[in-house]
Amino acid sequence: MEQLPLWAQIGAVFLLLICSSFFSISETAMMAINRHRLKHLASRGALGAKVTQGLLARTDLLLSVILIGNNLFNTIIPVLTTSIALHTFGHDNVVLSIATGIVAFLIIVFAEITPKIVGATYPEKIALPASLLIAPLMRITKPVVWLVNLFANSLLRLLHINTKGAREQRLSTEELRTIVLESGSFMPTKHRSILLNLFDLENITVDDVMIPRRRIEALDFEAPLEDILHQLETCYHNKLVVYQGDIDRVLGILHVRKTLAALHNQELERETLRELLAEPYFVPTGTPVFQQLQYFQESRQRTALVVNEYGELQGLVTPEDIIEELIGEFTTSMPRSGSGRGGWNEEGECIVSGSMPLRELNRWLQISLPTDGPKTLNGLILEILEEIPDGDVCVQIGDVKLEVMRSDDQAIRTVKLFRPGAKGRMKGGTKSSKTMQTSQR
């Protein structure tokens, strides 16, 4: 080296710094790259993606090559710099100290900190092309790497550290949810909403999505024939639950359009009506919605009646009710009372029925009433008040204010909701009014 000119020796130092920075930036980029994104790029045939996958499959060998190269260059640089200082300035302790400080500064800034920051910022752009250089280097230095790993693995065994069991990492549901939430502009809002709803389906049952018993449009088989015919001609749904005397005594499911077509040229008779009934399909309360959706596919049913442990009818669920939990409402349904389907009015108020399911209400009005307890708005308010109110009562649940407008001895019938942040004014006297806070889920 002393035979080379000074400019060549200084150039060699900067070349070694560049080589050291290459290993530093490659190490950080390789460790920071998204493995799922890398798998997607490899499936699309991106240059260097499969090579990078192969390197990351043997992290121990990859890190050995990178660290050997990095430390080798970081060791040569001070030696070369010291040689240059001695040859130029002689044996001067002050000059050697200054040269050592300069070299340390150059290594830290240009070969460590700066490359690693860049590698962590742009892992994909750096790791893929860098792998094309590291892969052949790994094959060339295989004997040296094997020898180094022999000592390293022996030390790991002495410390009882198992590296093989930690290689395979699986994402939990909550981690997948976080990935979807952080997708930002990479995923359309509607798609992100559907995926989040899909995660929620794991925690809900048919009780959360069913049409409650009071809202089921049913037909009494013992009613006068004129009333039955009128209901068939004016009913809102295409399928009706037919019961005898009491709704818990279900006879079957009647297809309205097929029935009207069959009765087009003949009088309505009870025996004809009975022959047109399909067998009712019952499911127990608490059935997970994913499992129920599979049951619908296997049994080729479109309507299921939810019953409790005593055989009492609790509600009705269809595949559409489950799918709406994923993508929102897309089918026609019974019109809501009060303000209809218009949602919030100009004053930020909305009048709804007390029997309205909470999940449907949250989805419709974009609010966050708790759904881990009662399933209806009436049930939620009664759980808080612990009594059926006999007058105007105001309740605040989280950031949503509610006013009970009408109730009877059995349940709350009509409720006015105030949009969070809206300056709505609640009525009710001092004695009969109650304002309570509940924690949201």
- The pLDDT score that the predictor gives to residue 427 is 57
What tens digit of pLDDT does each residue of 280-300 get?
999 999 899 888 988 998 888
User: Which of 48-62, 101-115, 171-185 is predicted with the least confidence, judged by mean pLDDT?
Assistant: 171-185
Residue-wise DSSP of 21-70: HHHHHHHHHHHHS-HHHHHHHHHTT-TTHHHHHHHHHTHHHHHHHHHHHH
Residue that the structure tokens 């005898």 belong to: 244
- The pLDDT score that the predictor gives to residue 257 is 87
Using pLDDT thresholds of 50, 70 and 90, give the confidence band for residue 64. Answer: confident
Using pLDDT thresholds of 50, 70 and 90, give the confidence band for residue 180. Answer: confident
- The pLDDT score that the predictor gives to residue 36 is 80
Is residue 440's pLDDT more than 90? no
Give 203 or 75, the one with higher predicted confidence. Answer: 75
Burial 80-106 (b: 16+ CB within 10 A, else e): bbeebbeeeeeeeeeebeebeeebeeb
Is residue 431's pLDDT more than 50? no
H/E element holding 93?
helix 93-106
CA dihedral 430, 431, 432, 438 (to 10 degrees): 80
Give 332 or 354, the one with higher predicted confidence. Answer: 354
Whether the model clears a pTM of 0.75, i.e. scores above it, the answer is no
Mean pLDDT, residues 203-207: 87
Phi and psi (nearest 5°) for 413?
-95, -45
Mean pLDDT estimate for the chain: 82
R_g of the chain computed on alpha carbons = 36
Q: Is 429 helix (H, G, I), strand (E, B) or coil?
A: coil
Exposed, middle or buried by CB within 10 Å (0-12, 13-18, 19+), for 368? Answer: middle
Calpha distance 321→216 (Å, rounded): 13
Rounded to whole angstroms, the maximal C-alpha distance in the chain is 121
Is residue 124's pLDDT more than 50? yes
| Percentage of the chain lying above the pLDDT 90 cut | 21
Domains located in the chain, CATH noted:
6-158 (no CATH), 204-327 (3.10.580.10), 335-441 (3.30.465.10)
Residues 6+ apart with CB under 8 A from 15: none
240-243's contacts with Cβ under 8 Å and 24+ in sequence apart are 241/216, 241/217, 241/280, 241/303, 241/305, 241/316, 242/218, 242/273, 242/277, 243/218, 243/219
Tell which phi-psi region holds residue 184, choosing left (phi > 0), alpha (psi between -120 and 50) or beta.
left
Structure tokens at 326: 């994923």
259, 273 in Cβ contact below 8 A?
yes
CA dihedral 58, 64, 69, 70 (to 10 degrees): 100
53, 42 in Cβ contact below 8 A?
yes
- The pLDDT score that the predictor gives to residue 356 is 83
Calpha distance 203→271 (Å, rounded): 44
- The pLDDT score that the predictor gives to residue 21 is 93
Give 267 or 367, the one with higher predicted confidence. Answer: 367
Is residue 214's pLDDT more than 90? no
Mean pLDDT, residues 189-196: 79
Is residue 22's pLDDT more than 90? yes
Residue that the structure tokens 């998204």 belong to: 34
CA dihedral 363, 368, 371, 374 (to 10 degrees): -100
Mean pLDDT, residues 145-173: 75
Calpha distance 237→253 (Å, rounded): 12
Using pLDDT thresholds of 50, 70 and 90, give the confidence band for residue 119. Answer: very high
Mean pLDDT, residues 65-91: 85
Calpha distance 378→388 (Å, rounded): 10
Give 438 or 170, the one with higher predicted confidence. Answer: 170
Give 184 or 1, the one with higher predicted confidence. Answer: 184
Calpha distance 425→194 (Å, rounded): 35
Using pLDDT thresholds of 50, 70 and 90, give the confidence band for residue 337. Answer: very low
H/E element holding 239?
strand 239-244
